[in-house]
Amino acid sequence: MALKKINPIETKAWRKLQEHYQDIKEKKMVDMFCEDDARVDKFHIKWDKFYLDYSKNRLDDTTKKLLVELCEEVDLKDAIQKQFKGEIINVTENRAVAHTRLRAQEKPNEVEAALEKMKVFSEKLIDGDWKGATGKSINHVVNIGVGGSDLGSQMVLDALEAYQNQLKVHFVSNIDGDHVLEVLKKIEVEQTIFIVVSKSFSTQETLSNATTIKKWFLEKGFTEKDIHKHFVAVSACNEKAVNFGILEENIFPMWDWVGGRFSLWSAVGLSICCGIGYKNFTEMLQGAQKMDEHFENTSFDENIPVLLALISIWYNNFFLTETEAVIPYSQYLQKFIPYLQQGVMESNGKNIDRNGKKVTYQTGNVIWGEPGTNAQHAFFQLIHQGTKLVPCDFIGFNNSVHGNKEHHHKLMANFFAQTEAFLCGKSQAKIEEEIKDLSPEEQERIRAYKCFEGNKPTNTLLIERLNPETLGSLIALYEHKLFVQGVIWNIYSYDQWGVELGKQLASKIYQQLETGKVDANLDASTQQLLKEFLSK
């Protein structure tokens, strides 16, 4: 059965939240702390190696109660059960959404078989047992994919750089030929394996890049017979991969019930397996499975993904914030934000509800951010003193990976200081104290500009240490968060029809660029742009 089709703004809880918003919208969080000594105790969750403090938000007991009531009215529990049972909840594409099966304790036989194949392949590369056409072992791996076949694996390998082995993993995604050639400059062809990742084996970017690399490979003096020693594939279309020159035995499976942006847990993560080893890859799966269990079985008022989703809806739909920032205080997580951008905005960037009608309320959030402390010297100015309300998720770690306590304490001092500053701002009394020794003229000149109003909301997620297991839990947390949002907004989070139009038009325009003949039926602006491009 499909997901239920309940318009959230027609629920009793939504109407109560609208009334409640009028009462709370001007309240100061610092006053809420003063009025309730137990606020921190009530608004935090300690789970496994995670500690979530959501007390620095513009909400109170009533807000939380009504948000949980909203979950119950839209029957979120039923939706969660349907996803975990593998029912067809991606209705518009007639597909199940079952990526959680990839990391379940009891996995389908086909998943177990794929994992075993990934283990054998990655260990052959790491141990030097896989030989290229000239008999040399492999020391470079190039992942050729785009979107979900690229972003997740890149993000994980960056996040777990400290766990990487001697294999150097590179990524080719953009159809920009300059990007491809820059990657090829970094490798030794005799010692390189190329992993072509495409469900259809016809994705324009991926196939163009794979074809360019294959041509380059053959120009280096290798033959068609050598391709099978240097190219493998992750695909659901074996025939096309075989026609490309890849041996059937070197094709890893992809399944219809795994969406691209949730596929790093599958053979799409083969480059992860190669880069950090199979053991670390499976520990990441185990971390995700722990979060799955927490999400599926924990009551909504103590459920980390559910509460983060509800808080996000509270700001997006009642405060009308539209954007939210994610600030990880770890350079290892520099690609976590672009990864989330794809996951969240491709999933929930929808304006048609599950009834086939245009929504009359805000849906997907715009996600942005940058690791701290870099972010503090960039866009934090806007959050502190700008005109926009930007809720933030702060992600930090109790322990650094390499154990340099001095540096880590400096980093985390900033982490805690910023959430305090967003909460408290700077009082007029503090400003007067800071400028008291200046001349009256100087005081008057800068007094207003030193004002920080505070009352800026943050969630603080404190994790024991960044490792494969906790990274798996963190990724799964945000997967479940976006799912909850989609359920409440009454949209289909798992299709991506908006990706298709640009592809279709690009194919037609490419033919015009190749022939030099511009279609007179194009809009006037695009016609002129193509003529300008072709004139050079």
Instruction: List residues with catalytic annotation.
Output: 346, 377, 503
- Does 110 score more than 90 pLDDT? yes
Percentage of the residues of the chain whose pLDDT score is greater than 90: 94
Split at pLDDT 50, 70, 90, the class of 203 is confident
Contact 24, 63 (CB under 8 A): yes
DSSP alpha helix (H) spans, 185-325:
204-219, 227-230, 238-244, 270-276, 278-297, 304-314
Confidence of residue 428 (pLDDT cuts 50, 70, 90): confident
Is the pLDDT at 101 greater than 80? The verdict is yes
User: How many angstroms separate the first and last alpha carbons of the chain?
Assistant: 56
The mean of the pLDDT values for the chain is 96
Question: Over 90: is that where the pLDDT of 505 sits?
Answer: no
Of the chain, the percentage scoring pLDDT greater than 70 comes to: 100
Q: Is the pLDDT of residue 118 over 90?
A: yes
| Whether pTM exceeds 0.85 | yes
pLDDT at 446: 92
Confidence band (pLDDT; 50, 70, 90) for 507? confident
Tell me if residue 483 falls in helix, strand or coil: helix
Domains identified in the chain and CATH numbers: 8-89+298-402+459-494 (3.40.50.10490), 104-284 (3.40.50.10490), 506-534 (no CATH)
Instruction: Give mean pLDDT, residues 373-384.
Output: 96
Average pLDDT (14-34) is 97
The residue type of 287 is: G
The pLDDT of 444-464, averaged and rounded, is: 95
Q: Which residues of 121-222 form beta strands (DSSP E)?
A: 140-144, 168-172, 192-197
Please give the average per-residue pLDDT across 7-15, as a whole number.
98
| Contact in structure between 140 and 187 (CB atoms under 8 Å) | yes
Residue 500 has pLDDT above 80, yes or no: no
Residue 407: the pLDDT is 97
- In the sheet that holds 140-144, the strands lie side by side as 168-172, 140-144, 192-197, 231-235, 251-253
For residue 307, pLDDT beyond 90: yes
So what's the pLDDT on residue 523?
A: 94
User: For the residues 282-306, what does the mean pLDDT come to?
Assistant: 98
- Alpha-carbon span 479 to 457, nearest angstrom: 22
pLDDT above 90 (res 242)? yes
Query: Does residue 1 have a pLDDT over 80?
Result: no
What pLDDT score does 244 carry?
96
pLDDT of 305 > 90? The answer is yes
For 310-345, the pLDDT digits (tens) are 999 999 999 999 999 999 999 999 999 999 999 999
Please tell me the predicted confidence (pLDDT) of residue 2.
Answer: 84
pLDDT at residue number 228: 94
CA 450 to chain CA mean position, Å: 36
Look at residue 499 and tell me whether its pLDDT is greater than 90.
no
Mean pLDDT confidence for 132-137: 97
Residues sharing a CB contact under 8 Å with residue 390, sequence separation 6 or more, in sequence order? 321, 323, 324, 325, 382, 383, 456
Residue 374 clears pLDDT 90, i.e. is over it: yes
Residue 162 clears pLDDT 80, i.e. is over it: yes
261-275, 337-351, 500-514, range with the lowest pLDDT: 500-514
Mean pLDDT value across residues 153-165: 98
pLDDT at position 471 over 90: yes
pLDDT number for residue 496: 86
Distance CA 385, CA 382 (A): 5
Instruction: For tokens 């942006």, name the residue.
Output: 261
* Confidence check: pLDDT of 434 > 80: yes
List, as one string, the DSSP characters of 438-464: S-HHHHHHHTGGG-B-----EEEEEEE
Q: Which residues contact 518 (CB under 8 A, 6 or more apart)?
A: 512, 527, 530, 531, 534
